[in-house]
Amino acid sequence: MDCDPVCISGIFACRLISPKDEIALNPIRFLKTRVLFKLVMLFVIIIILIVESTTLVTIAISRNALSRAIIETDNQIALSVADKVSYITAQSLDPHTLSKQLQSAIEAISYARSRIVFLLTTMA
């Protein structure tokens, strides 16, 4: 003979609750209040989880987009500096004049793009 755990718990609950108790006289009302409370708590927890997961996804998407934008902007600045340097070096033959022209061009690019730009050379 197989005994179902629900049957055993029902028999156990019947022995704990006396027949004259308020719970035994109105069992449906007792179950409704307990079930309703649990359902409300379940829905509140589900809503909190949805809001939290949406927030985390939004933060991750924003972080990735910001990272891509910064990298793209820095690449554009680097290309602009490289073009300007190659143009100035092709124009100037004097090393002293070249250094001053490069410095002023890079400072102008740095101020215009709100970035700090360094130029590393191996010029003698």
Q: What is the arithmetic mean of pLDDT over 18-35?
A: 74
Instruction: Collect all residues with Cβ–Cβ distance below 8 Å to 85 and sequence separation of at least 6.
Output: 102, 105, 106, 119
The answer as to whether 57 is a domain residue is: yes
The answer as to whether 86 is a domain residue is: yes
Distance in angstroms (rounded) separating the CA atoms of residues 101 and 107: 10
Would the pLDDT of 53 be above 90?
A: yes
The answer as to whether 52 is a domain residue is: yes
pLDDT at residue 87 in the model: 86
The length of the chain is 124
The answer as to whether 119 is a domain residue is: no
pLDDT band of residue 109 (cuts 50, 70, 90) is: confident
The answer as to whether 16 is a domain residue is: yes
The answer as to whether 123 is a domain residue is: no
pLDDT at residue 86 in the model: 85
pLDDT at residue 14 in the model: 67
Alpha carbon of residue 114 to chain centroid: 26
The answer as to whether 60 is a domain residue is: yes
Q: What is the arithmetic mean of pLDDT over 12-34?
A: 73
67-105 pLDDT, tens digit per residue, is 999 999 888 888 888 888 888 888 877 777 887 888 888
Which residue range is the domain that position 72 belongs to? 5-113
Q: What is the DSSP letter of 33?
A: H
Per-position b or e across 30-45, b if 16+ CB within 10 A of its CB: eeeeeeeeeeeeeeee
How many separate domains does the chain show?
Answer: 1
The answer as to whether 64 is a domain residue is: yes
